[in-house]
Amino acid sequence: MMAIVHFLPILWGMIISIMQIDATFVSRWYSAPFVGLENYARLLDFDSTVGSRFWFSLRQTTIFAIGTVVGSYSLGLASAVILDSDFRGSNVARILVLLPWISPAVVVLLVWRMMLLSDTGVVNNVLLSAGIIGEPIVWLIGANSIYSMILVNVWINFPWATIMLYAALKSIPGHLYEAARIDGAGRWGQFRHITLPQLKPISVVISLLLVLWSFINFTVPYVLLGQSPTRSGEVSMLFIYNYAFHNYAFGLGAAMSVVLFLFAMGIALVYYKYAVSGSFEGEGR
């Protein structure tokens, strides 16, 4: 099943990336000419239109991933700490926190798209009423589109981070906090010297998965910004889809996908070597 679902599509994408499959050969791909690394050479030509746009989209994807990780983890950690305390209605609060994550993604994105409209959107109306802004902000077009995607992606993913961190908080031995209180540590000292170190193994896993999910995220940019986003919101997945299917350049599109795959896997391997494996080794010691 792993071979059918994962390895064969990856191998097939790599094969397509070294062939010139376009509108002429899309119905008879087996007769498409072999071009070797020509598609990859076009991507490495930063002066070409497709090369410059692809690497810019990769840059925007990196910003999208970093913003998602920082926002989702920060909000997830704050929510987990609050839910870990005993208060009236805590069970209801735990259910409410899960709503953005368990709701259908397309429905959530369409609602956010309406909320972020510049003229009738709820977000601008609230900010204007509060006096935070003086005029409506255009969220879905122009330079702000990347920040809109980060905001919505954080909203969707932070409940998952909350669940993981909440479970990790429950697994921290209580005697560590008791010993810290005896030594005179306050709440901030306990959080800094006990909670955060104990959460490090799960934190690095959460960060790694959020980065990978952000790099391959197609639903958020496509539903939120549409098929023709402005340059700021043109992340790699959306650019590859639009370029490959609108221009029938499936060979070049496959080459872009392979580069994106290798880039994401490179980040994952480096991160795993210096963060994930080190955290679990340290935990074992």
CATH code of 221's domain: 1.10.3720.10
CA distances in angstroms from 77 to 10, 20, 70, 166, listed in the order given: 35, 48, 11, 8
Number of domains into which the chain is organized: 1
Does residue 33 fall inside a structural domain? no
Q: Which residue range forms the structural domain that includes residue 234? A: 56-284
Cα 101 versus chain centre, distance: 14
Does residue 253 fall inside a structural domain? yes
Question: Do 153 and 220 contact (CB within 8 A), yes or no?
Answer: yes
Give mean pLDDT, residues 40-48.
87
pLDDT of residue 146: 94
Beta-carbon-side half-sphere exposure of residue 272 (alpha carbons within 13 Å): 8
Question: Do 169 and 195 contact (CB within 8 A), yes or no?
Answer: yes
Give the whole-angstrom CA distance, residue 25 versus residue 252. 13
| Percentage of residues of the chain with pLDDT beyond 90 | 40
pLDDT of residue 107: 92
Does residue 264 fall inside a structural domain? yes
Does residue 241 fall inside a structural domain? yes
Does residue 268 fall inside a structural domain? yes
The pLDDT tens digits for 235-283 are: 999 999 999 888 888 999 999 999 998 988 888 888 777 766 655 555 5
Q: In 10 A of CB 164, how many CB atoms?
A: 19
The pLDDT tens digits for 68-106 are: 999 999 999 999 999 888 788 888 888 888 888 888 989
Does residue 14 fall inside a structural domain? no
Does residue 3 fall inside a structural domain? no
Stated as kind and residue range, the H or E segment containing 134 is none
Q: Reply yes or no on whether the pLDDT at 65 is more than 90.
A: yes
The pLDDT tens digits for 9-42 are: 888 889 989 988 887 777 777 778 888 898 899 8
Question: Do 72 and 182 contact (CB within 8 A), yes or no?
Answer: no
Give the whole-angstrom CA distance, residue 204 versus residue 193. 17
Does residue 218 fall inside a structural domain? yes
- The verdict on pTM exceeding 0.85 is yes
Give the whole-angstrom CA distance, residue 266 versus residue 270. 6
